Structures are given as C-alpha cells and as structure tokens.
Amino acid sequence: MASIPTASRLAGTRIPRRRSFMAQPFKHPASGIYYLRRKVPPELRASLGREFKQSLKTREPAEAKARFAEAWAQAEAAFAAARAQLAGVEAIGVGDAHQLAARWFREEQARVEREGAFTEMLAEGSRTASGRGDEVGEWATSYSTFEAAAEEGNGPPNDDWAAVVAPHIAKALSKHKLPRPAPGSRAAEHLSAAFLEHLHKLSDWAMSRYEGRYLALGLGVAPVQHLRSEGPKPSMSKAVKLMALFDEYSTDKTLNDGDTRATRKTLASFQATVQRFTELMGDLDITAINREVVARYRAELARLPAKGEGTRGLNASQLIAKAEKEGLPRLSEPTILNHIRAVSAVLSHGVRLQRLPENPIIAGGVGRSAAKAATRRVAGIRRRKDYSPDELRAIFTSPAFTETDWAPPRAAFGKAWYWLPLLLYYTGARREELAQLKASDVKKSPDGIWHLNILAAEDEEDGSRGVKTEGSRRLLPLHPDLVKRGFLDYASSLPTKGQLFPDLKPSPSGYFGANFGKRWAVYLKETVKLDSSVSPIHGFRHTFKTLSRDVGIPEDVHDAITGHAGTGGIARDYGSMTLRRMAEELAKYPEAPTV
C-alpha cells in the first residue's frame, strides 16, 4: 500500500494551483447563437436523452449570460422531474397533459393560419375531374375533418391515432424539457388522449377556415397556466424590492468573480442603473415588474438626455423635463441596451433564486428588440476602427515622439507619453494590460527573447491589477524596433518593484490608464489635429490586427499576441503557441513611422 506523502516529502515540490471552472454558455461555431449544454446523468438518459440542450436565442454574450441562469434552472427542474418519474411519481398529470396539448394547439393553429395551410389538418378524400368528352380539365379534391374521416373508415392505418399524435407529443415534451413517460403508463395515456382531443379540435377549425369561415384563434382550449414542473408563482408573502435583489446579486457576483476592480466597476454601474429604474418606474416589488413594466421602462429610457451640462445630480424626472425644455439629445440605442441588460442580469438572479417565474425582459422580447435597435444604430454609423497609414504617420511624427523637450500642457505622465502608444501599436494589447505593468514584468526568456509578462496569477492577489479574461494572461514578445528605440534601457532604469510607468496613478475605480486615455484623446485632437472616427486608444488594437493580416502573420499567432486565444495561459502552460514563434512572426510587423 502506498504511503501518504508527508509535509517533509512535499517540501520544495511545486503544487499546481487548482483551477475552478464555472459553467458558461456555449457559442455555436456556425450560427454564433449561444446555448446551454449539459450532460444528462446516465440514469436519466432513457427519458431525457444524452444531452440537455437549450437555445438562449441570442448572439450577444452579455444577454446569453443573463439567460443562462434561467436555462440552468429549467435543466434542474427537468432532471428533478425525471428522477421523480424513476421513483414512481408521475411527472405529468392529467392537468399537465391538457396544458401541453393546449399549448401545442395554439402554436400549430397560429402556424397554419399564418401559412394558410389548412389542408394539412384535414383528411384528403376523393379526387374528381372536370372536363368535356375525352379532355380532362382540373382535378378537384374533397376534404373532411379527421373525425369525419374516421367515422367513414378513412382513418390512419389500423386506426392508430396514437401514432399520429406521438411525434407532436415528443416535440412538446422536448420543448418543455419533460421526461418521456414509459409506454403504457398513465402519463402516456393522459398525453395521447389530450393531444388526440386537441388534434380533432384543430381539424374542425381548419375545415371552417378552408370553407372560408373565420374563427378567432385560441377558442375552446384551456388558458395558459403553469405546468407542475414549472413550479408555482412566487409567494407574495415576502415582498422584495429591486434594490434588495441587486444587493443579493452583488454579493453573489463578488463571490463568483472575485472582489476585483473589474467586478467593483460593473457593480457600481449596475447599482446606478437599478437606482434609475426605481426613479422611472417606482420602487416596485420584483413580482410587479412584468413584461408591460419593462416595455414602458425602455420607452422612458429613450426620453432621458445624454450627458450634458447641468445634468449631474438630477433625478430622472428632472432630467426628462430638462431634455424636453432644452431639446437635448437623448440616450443612444446602445446606451439604452446597456441599461436594459443590467436590469436583466439582476432579474435573472431573481429567477435563479425562484423569486420570479420568468425574466420579463427576456420573456417579453424587450432585450432582443433593444439589441436590434442598437445594432441598426451601430451599422448605420459604419465607424472605421483602425488607423490609416496617414493617421499613424501623423501620430508618430507628432511632438510627443519627435521633440526631446516637448512637455504636455497638462497631465505630465512622464515617459508614458512616449512608450505607451508605441507599446499599444506593437502589441495590440489593451490599455490597462500595459498601463498596470511593473518594471519587473519586462523579462528575458531562457532562450534570450525579451518580452512582457501580462499579469501572472500570483500578481493579482491584492486586487490592484487585473485582466479581462483568463486568456489575457500571456507573454508578449517585444518588437525589434522597441529595443532599438531604447525601451530596455528605460525599463532597467526603474526600480524593479515599482511601476513601469510610475507617473500613471490609479483612478478612483483602480485603473492606471484611465486618465492617460482621456488626455491622449485630447492630445490627438488638439496637438496632432487628428479628425478621425477611430477610438483613440482601442484603435491601436484594431490596427494591430489589420497590419498583422496585411504582412501575413497567421491568425492564431496574432490572436495569441492580442489575447484573443480561447484558452488561458497562452505561451505559458501548454506551449501551444511558443514565445519564439510569436517573436519570429512579430518581426514581420511594420515599424512605426518616423520623421
């Protein structure tokens, strides 16, 4: 029997850090639509299949994350129902069977009406020809309802109506994530009887429409009610306000994502949005926030002004009054979408806690409609994202890069004025990834390659620095032109434990590059005289991708350099993209313009 390792035997041994992985939405590689995908436990596969898969009906990552919670809860409910069925408890009662059949009836009726396909729900009878003598004219087909056809002996083979409705039952069970009942069970009999009853109702309606008589949709079927598996409506005994739900959401997000500056920034933004919701719609209990309320919320957001002089500190009513009186520009569609997504995330947390039966923003389609409006707005602008060669020449031949004694009129950020834009150009990195670097992050590999170390995990423990995703932790080779310009001499002149750019101080939100970003935009406008639609800082990231493609740097290589690769620790854990390979390819990248 192997002995248990002792502390002394483990001394000096590097124990790998255990990584925890949270379930995430799956993005379909072809359609781009997000899904929930979960393996079904082996004992439940006979009734649910091997995989629980549900479309989140969005291509937007943030919206998919909000919908993921509801889909996960539905998966849990489906597993619970299947386990109950295994234990001999009926997962589908008589009421559920009729409710499923009624839902199917409404969907099929709406489809047939929309397509005018009434004969699909009728039995075909004899065909007769019209014409004179030996000439045959048009053929006419007679139709009857399914019930009438059955009475005349023209039903399905062996009069097996159960086989006719079986595919519809299977589709309904799959849609509502309910287990398939065993053949011959009471649940199977309930379903077959309910669907057959509604099939005949649908055929009767189709005959009326085929003969030209109009009947309102949905007549004669049960109203929409909760299935037993969907649970009862939330109890009203304990009222919960939206801000109280946000507090619970905030605690949960901090536990899951960590108390980082990125998390704190997101929560501060969401809190302001929730507060604005209460100003616009009232301090409602969350159960009172229904589809109609969120539709009105979107309309009210469209009345709010964009940021402007004299708007700070005003509440929603005052802002709307000011906008209407002074004719101020209103919130843009992308900004409205951001507000809606924030509230949606909080409401989805309520669904996950079973405080709400649904997220009304998702269920009512408000989020989807706002996303479409925002997409149309962005598409209409057609803003260029990368710098042109002329713009790059104007930037890198401007005073900050050519005049030794040049000093900015305000915001003396030291050598960051020179080195930070060059690093952005040569690496395609995010602003904060570079602004937060320490001098010790400029390193030389064992095989002699100088590079930047973008935040090893152990450097994030104090929460003062962070990365966007795990894939953002990476090594970045230095372009030869940076070395030629003296970047290594600059880095070596700094205290190794200090910042690479000591004059960049963190903003109240904790971001080292925030103030530089603002002043850089002013510099481009006032000093460089650059009139461009390109984002002042992020434009370098798009430019890096464009120029990399132009010179033939492979996609997987420039993805690894920019941190777009899918897995964390590129060039660190598995060697799938080596530092040497990236350095060799980066040498092809064109040098920044000079005078």
Average pLDDT over residues 470-491: 88
Q: Per-residue pLDDT tens for 328-355?
A: 888 888 899 999 999 999 999 888 888 8
Average pLDDT over residues 530-555: 91
CA distance 541 to 476: 14
**What's the per-residue H, E or C state across 383-417?**
CCCCCCHHHHHHHHCCHHHHCCCCCCCCCCCCCHH
Query: Which phi and psi angles does 55 have, rounded to 5°?
Result: -70, 135
pLDDT of residue 132: 45
Domain 242-381 has CATH 1.10.150: yes
pLDDT of residue 340: 92
Residue 316, pLDDT > 90, answer no
Residue 289, pLDDT > 80, answer yes
The more confidently predicted of residues 506 and 565 is 506
Q: Per-residue pLDDT tens for 57-105?
A: 888 887 787 778 777 777 777 777 677 666 666 667 778 888 889 889 9
pLDDT of residue 377: 56
Query: Which phi and psi angles does 537 have, rounded to 5°?
Result: -95, -55
The more confidently predicted of residues 518 and 68 is 518
Spatial CB neighbours of 266, under 8 Å, sequence gap ≥ 6: 253
Residue 539, pLDDT > 80, answer yes
pLDDT of residue 67: 79
Per-domain residue ranges of the chain:
26-86, 94-129+139-230, 242-381, 389-586
Which fold is adopted by the domain 389-586? hpI Integrase; Chain A (1.10.443)
Spatial CB neighbours of 113, under 8 Å, sequence gap ≥ 6: 209, 217
CA distance 577 to 138: 70
pLDDT of residue 85: 64
Lowest mean pLDDT among 41-50, 95-104, 180-189, 568-577: 568-577
Confidence of residue 572 (pLDDT cuts 50, 70, 90): very low
Q: Single out the residue of 435, 429, 430, 393 nearest to residue 417, CA to CA.
A: 435
pLDDT of residue 545: 93
Residue 285, pLDDT > 80, answer yes
Q: Per-residue pLDDT tens for 359-370?
A: 999 888 888 888
- What Rg, from alpha-carbon coordinates, does the chain have? 32
AA identity, residue 407: A
Confidence of residue 531 (pLDDT cuts 50, 70, 90): confident
pLDDT of residue 465: 57
The more confidently predicted of residues 90 and 2 is 90
As a whole number, the mean pLDDT across the chain is: 80
Region label for 411, one of left (φ > 0), alpha (ψ between -120 and 50) or beta (otherwise): left
Q: Do residues 516 and 413 touch, judged by C-beta distance below 8 A? A: yes
Q: Do domains 242-381 and 389-586 have the same CATH topology?
A: no
Other Cβ atoms closer than 10 A to 505: 12
CA angle (472 as vertex; 555, 385 as ends), nearest 5: 55
Q: Which helix (DSSP H) or strand (DSSP E) does residue 477 occupy? A: strand 474-477
AA identity, residue 252: D
Confidence of residue 141 (pLDDT cuts 50, 70, 90): low
Q: Per-residue pLDDT tens for 427-466?
A: 999 999 999 999 999 999 999 999 999 865 334 444 455 5
pLDDT of residue 390: 94
Lowest mean pLDDT among 72-76, 243-247, 316-320, 504-508: 72-76
Lowest mean pLDDT among 371-385, 425-439, 445-459, 478-492: 371-385
Average pLDDT over residues 267-289: 90
The more confidently predicted of residues 132 and 280 is 280
Residue 216, pLDDT > 80, answer no
Average pLDDT over residues 228-252: 73
CA distance 82 to 180: 8
Residue 7, pLDDT > 90, answer no
Query: Which phi and psi angles does 13 have, rounded to 5°?
Result: -90, 130
pLDDT of residue 221: 74
